[in-house]
Amino acid sequence: MLREKYEAQEPTDEMVRYHKKWSVEERTILRALVREYGSDFAYFKKFLPFKTRRQIQRGYELHASRELRLH
C-alpha cells in the first residue's frame, strides 16, 4: 500500500523543495517504513521525496524511534 501510493510520485523540478517541518502524514510514513525496512534512510528517500537523507535520519531520531519505543 505504501509503495503504491508514494513510489509513483515523481517529484518535478517545481515540486522539489526540502522542508524542515514533519507533517503528520510524513511521520506516519516514516514509522511504517522503519517497521518494514529498519533504518535504510537512503531507501526511504523514494517515499519521502521532499526530505533529504539527513532530514529523514533526523526525523527518525526525533519521531519514529521515540514513538516505536512507546509501542
Residues 10-68: tens digit of each pLDDT: 555 544 555 678 888 888 899 899 889 888 888 998 899 888 888 899 888 887 666 66
Cell digits of residue 53: 537523507
pLDDT at 22: 85
37, 43 contact by CB (below 8 A): yes
Question: Count of CB atoms within 10 A of residue 68's CB?
Answer: 12
Predicted TM-score (pTM) above 0.85:
no
Integer CA distances (angstroms), 21 to 25, 27, 48, 62, in order: 11, 10, 13, 12
pLDDT at 39: 85
For cell 533526523, name the residue. 58
